[in-house]
Structure 1
C-alpha cells in the first residue's frame, strides 16, 4: 500500500522525467560543472561524434581527428593520442584537474585548493615570466613545468630559507 504523496513531493516528481531517463546522466558531473563554472564540456564529445560520423573516404576526417586529439593531449585532458574514443573520457573533472589551483595542490605547493586560490589571487604565483592572478587559469602540459612562486613572494623566501638555499645578503 503506497501513501499519497505530499504537495512538495509531487512538485519534485514533476521535474524528473522517468520515461526518458538515461543512465549516463552523471549527477556528480553536474555538481562539478556548477561549482567550477565550466560551460559546455560535452561540446568536445559532440565534436568527436561529428568527426566520427564523417565518411571514411573524406580526406579531412583523419586530419580533424588528429588535430582534436593533439589539442586535447596538449591541454592535458587525455592521457594519450590513440583514437577518438579518448574524447569520451573527457569530463568536467578533467578540466578541474588542469586548473592552476589544482596544479598547485598536486605539486604540493599548497595544502588545499582554497589556499592555492588565495595565493594565486594575491599574486604569489607565476607561470614562466607571466604573473597569473586567476585561479581558474587552465594549465597545459608544457606550462605545468613552469609553475613557480614569484621572485618577490614571501612564500618563496620562506621555502628558500627552509631549504637553506636563500642568500643571506638578499633583502
Structure 2
C-alpha cells in the first residue's frame, strides 16, 4: 500500500504531466524531425546506445589478454558491424555509438539514402506503413525496421506497386514470362 501524498507533493505533481511530456532537448527534437522518429522510438534508441557504451566501457577496463574480454568483444563487434551500426570492428567505435547510428539504419531512411526513393521522408514512411516495400520475400509494414548489411541488396518495391511506378513512367512491359 502506498502512503498518501502530502500537500506539497500533490502540488508539484499537478505541475508535471507525465503522459503528454514534451521534449525540451534541442538535439532530440532535431533528430526526431530529421529521421521521422517519434519520442518512444528515440528513447529506445537512446537506451540501446547508452547500454552499448556501458558494455564497451566495461570491456575496455578488463585486461587485454583475458579470454572472456576477447570473446565478448568479438560478439559485440560482430553484432554491431553486421547491423551496420559501426563501420569497423574496433572497440573504440562502440563507445561512439549514437542515436543517429540506429536511425540511419531504419528502412525509410535507408531507402532515401540508397536512391530508391527521392521524395520526403514522411512519404517514405507512409509507403512502408502501407506495405509497398519488401525486404527479400517479406513485405515490411514497420518503418522502424532496421536494415542489416545482409539485407541491403534485397530491398525492393512490392510487385503491384512496381507495376504502378512503371506505368506512370511509361516503362511498363505487358509481356511477362
User: Which TM-score bucket, shorter chain as reference?
Assistant: 0.7 to 0.9
Q: How many residues align?
A: 141
Q: 1:109 aligns with which of 111, 116, 120?
A: 116
- Gap runs ≥5 in structure 1: 1-25
Confirm whether residue 44 of structure 1 aligns to residue 44 of structure 2.
no
- Pair 1:68–1:163, CA change in 2 (3 A): farther
Deviations 1:20-67 (A, max 9, x none): xxxxxx952576377452310211100101111223342111111111
* Contact 2:57/2:95 (8 A) holds in 1: no
Match of 1:134 in 2: 142
Distance 1:168 1:57 in 2: 64
- RMSD (Å) for aligned C-alpha atoms: 2.2
State the TM-score, normalized to the length of structure 2: 0.71
Q: 1:53 aligns with which of 58, 61, 78?
A: 61
* Contact 2:127/2:133 (8 A) holds in 1: yes
- Pair 1:31–1:50, CA change in 2 (3 A): farther
1:1-171 equivalence runs, <5 A: 28-29=27-28, 32=31, 35=38, 37-38=41-42, 39=44, 40=47, 41-81=49-89, 83-110=90-117, 111-153=119-161, 156-161=162-167, 162=169, 164=171, 166-169=172-175
